[in-house]
Amino acid sequence: MTTRHSTWLLTLAVSGLLAGCAQTGTAPASPAPGAQPPGVTQPPAATPLSFQPVAAEVTPTPAPTVTPSAAPEHSPSPEPTAERVPVIEYHYSTYTMGELTTMRTDWFLEQLDWLEANGYRTLTGDAFTAYLRGEAPVPARSVVLRFDVAQSHFEDYTDVIVPALRARGQHGLFFILASRTSDDCDGHNACWPTLKAWADEGVISPESHSLWHLDYATLPPEQIVLDAQRSRAIIEAKTGHTVHGLCYPFDSVAPAALDILRDLGYDFAVAGYTRQERGVLARDPDPYALPSIYPYSSDAAYPQLTSHPGETFATLLESFR
């Protein structure tokens, strides 16, 4: 068969197939044997064409990659914040003011241990001030450890109190009696170099316990101004740290002092039984008459607190969880 005839036959077959599909949607019938198109001379006999299916090379389409949805990230629940903060008043660890107002070293250490074991945190002067101003919340179970530092018994601070705070990672607000603190350290009396070193270390915040330890409730306003102003200036100069607060001598609040201390730049002042609510509140309405709680007892009553009848240190503090 010539190339021209082969091409013609193939074209005819394909054309007929397409025409039949277009008209009926089915494959056309095979032409009758021996039939030929008009005007076309019968070509020489030829070997019948054999159409074999051609294997098409199919490139498989890869299945889409499905990335599993990442588990949603859950932010940790915010830590509960304190609604009330207690201020716990100490002097030295063997302080006594009569049979019913006594502290023993082992009681003091037991109380610090209880705070540590029960997740209580001790605030710095900066953190307590920010809490009072409403600038920054503090965690639930926050407390302030207040120490009224006078002239004597300073070895109790160096040998017991500060090592105990340091070992537990705790902090104390040390209210310093400025007129009775010396530049020279003799091992017994309060001295500036040691207080400054503790403040620099971060174990204490230096605060004011006034200049002369006079009862503010008995002083005229101008003397309160002089005493509180000079005390703060001396403590800041000697320690290099900001003084935020004052604790009243004898825990005696003078009404005139409330405005005076604010005008002098103090952020707060603490006393004792100033109100029934014993906790300090964020944005406290009375920042210059804050209450304290007393952890004192007697040899016969401990662990019951004679300062808070019917309470132990644990039951008293548990209300501040």
What does the pLDDT profile of the chain (321 residues) look like in tens digits? 444 444 333 333 333 333 343 343 444 444 444 444 444 444 444 444 443 444 444 455 555 554 555 555 666 667 899 999 999 999 999 999 989 999 999 999 999 999 999 999 999 999 999 999 999 999 999 999 999 999 999 999 999 999 999 999 999 999 999 999 999 999 999 999 999 999 999 999 999 999 999 999 999 999 999 999 999 999 999 999 999 999 999 999 999 999 999 999 999 999 999 999 999 999 999 999 999 999 999 999 999 999 999 999 999 999 887
Is 253 buried (19+), middle (13-18) or exposed (0-12) by CB count in 10 A? buried
As a 3-state breakdown, the chain gives helix, strand, coil percent values, each rounded to 5, of 35, 15, 50
CB 137 within 8 A of CB 80: no
Q: Which two tokens stand for residue 66?
A: 């499905």
Q: Where are the domains of the chain?
A: 87-316
Domain 87-316 has CATH 3.60.20.30: no
CB 118 within 8 A of CB 142: no
Cα 120 to Cα 71, 110, 278, distances in angstroms: 35, 14, 17
Q: Which two tokens stand for residue 149?
A: 């530092």
Cβ within 8 Å of residue 124, ≥6 positions away: 171, 173, 202, 205
